[in-house]
Structure 1
Amino acid sequence: MFIETIVVDYNGIVLFEPYLLRRRYGGAIEDGTNLFALFTTSDDGDRVLEEGLIVPVLAIDDSPYKVIVRRSSEPEIVRGTVVAENKVFPLRVAHGLVIADLVVLRDWTEGLGWKPVDVEPGNYGVTVRGFRLLDATGCRIVEAGYEFILEPQDALPVPTADVGKNMRVMWSAA
C-alpha cells in the first residue's frame, strides 16, 4: 500500500509504468518532451489508456492531496466521504509504478517528482475514488485526496473510465 501527499501544480495526477511507457516510444523519452500535447491532440492518448500505461486524474484543483494506492484485497482507509469515482482504467505493470503531478507528461524529466509505488507485476483494473473530510462545521476541508484501487486481472480489462469525468474534490461549503 502506498500513502503519501502529492502536490499538484498542473491540474492532475498520473499513475504510470515508466518502463512500458518508454518502451512504447522506442525505449527512451527525451527530456522536455510534451507527451500531454501528444496525448490530447492525437489517438496516442486513447492508445496509452487502452494499453494500460497510464491512469490519469485530470482537471482537478492545484493543491496537496493525500494519495492512496492499494490492491483491492488491502483494507480501505479513506476517511471522509467519497465524492467522485471513475472506473475502470486498465493498468499493466512490468517493473513498477510511479505516481506524479501531471506536469511530468507536459515536460518529461526522467524521475523528477516521481514517487515509486510498490506493486507486483501484472494486469489490473483500476478504480479511482476522490474523497474529502470536512471539519465539524461542514465548511472546511480537513483532508482531500484520491484512492487508486487496483484489482488484479488475468487479462488487461477494457477501459470504461471517462477521462472527462469531474473528479474535483476541493470546494468550500461556506
Structure 2
Amino acid sequence: MRYEFVEVLNDLIDYFLLGDIRLLQTWKEEHALDDDVASEFISNDSGDRAVQEGIVIPLAGIENYPYTVLFTLADETPELLKPESHLQHQRGGYVLRIENRQLMLFTWRILQNFTDAQIRALEARYRQPGRPQIDLDNGMYEVEILAGEVLRGAYYEPAIEFVLKRTEREHATADMDMNYRFTVDSQTY
C-alpha cells in the first residue's frame, strides 16, 4: 500500500520530522523538556535520545521545494526505486514507535512552541485532505528513507519516500546518521 501527498512544504526551515506527534508530546513530558523543544534538541542530547528511541526521525537539508511525499507499506516496490525515478538518497537504520495510530511528517516550527494547544491546532490542520499523515497500526517500524525525483506527468518532482516495515527492534542501528542531509538536486526548480 502506498500513500502519496503532493506539494508538501518545509515552512522555510530546511527540516522535516517524522513521527507520532502525540508520542513525542508524552516523551517531552516524561523527560521534563521545555515547550521550546527545538532549543532542547539543539542544546542537549534529548534530540539524539528521541531519535535513538524511535520517537522521531529528523530529515535535514530539505530545500524549499514543494515535495511529493510517499509512505510505502508492505512489500510494494518503492516509487523512488522504479527505473523512471531519479534516486539521490537511500538511508536505512531508522526506527519509529507508533502508539497513537498516527504517523505524520511535520516541520521544525512546531517544536518551537510544542504545547498541547499548538499540537491540537496542527492536528486540526492535518485533518484537511492532502496533509502528510497516515493512520498506522501501533508498534515498531523500520524506516528506510529515499529521496530524489519522481516522474509525474511530463515533469520530475522532488520527492521523499518513507518505506515502513514492522519490526521487533526498538532502537536505531549504530550506522544510522541522524545528521544526514537529504538535499534533493532538483532540475525543475
Fold similarity call, TM over 0.5: yes
Choose between structure 1 and 2: higher strand proportion. 1
Q: TM-score, normalised by structure 2?
A: 0.76
From 160, 167, 170, the equivalent of 2:185 is 170
Larger deviation, residues 55-64 vs 74-83:
74-83
Runs of 4+ displaced beyond 4 Å: none
From 73, 88, 111, the equivalent of 2:93 is 88
Q: How many matched pairs?
A: 168
Choose between structure 1 and 2: higher helix proportion. 2
From 149, 168, 171, the equivalent of 1:132 is 149
Q: Give yes or no for contact 2:99–2:139 (8 Å, CA) kept in 1.
A: yes
Query: Deviation string for 1:59-100 (max 9, x for gaps)?
Result: 221121000112242342335111012221111011121211
| Alignment pair present for 1:152 and 2:161 | no
Q: Distance in 2 between matches of 1:106 and 1:73?
A: 37
| Alignment pair present for 1:142 and 2:152 | no
| Distance change (3 Å), C-alpha of 1:134 and 1:2 | closer
Larger deviation, residues 42-51 vs 77-86:
77-86
Q: CA deviation at 1:134?
A: 7.2
| Alignment pair present for 1:16 and 2:19 | yes
Query: Deviation string for 1:106-129 (max 9, x for gaps)?
Result: 343214254431211111111111
| Distance change (3 Å), C-alpha of 1:151 and 1:171 | same
Identical counterparts, % of pairs: 20
For residue 110 of structure 1, what is the aligned residue in structure 2?
Answer: 119
| Distance change (3 Å), C-alpha of 1:33 and 1:72 | same
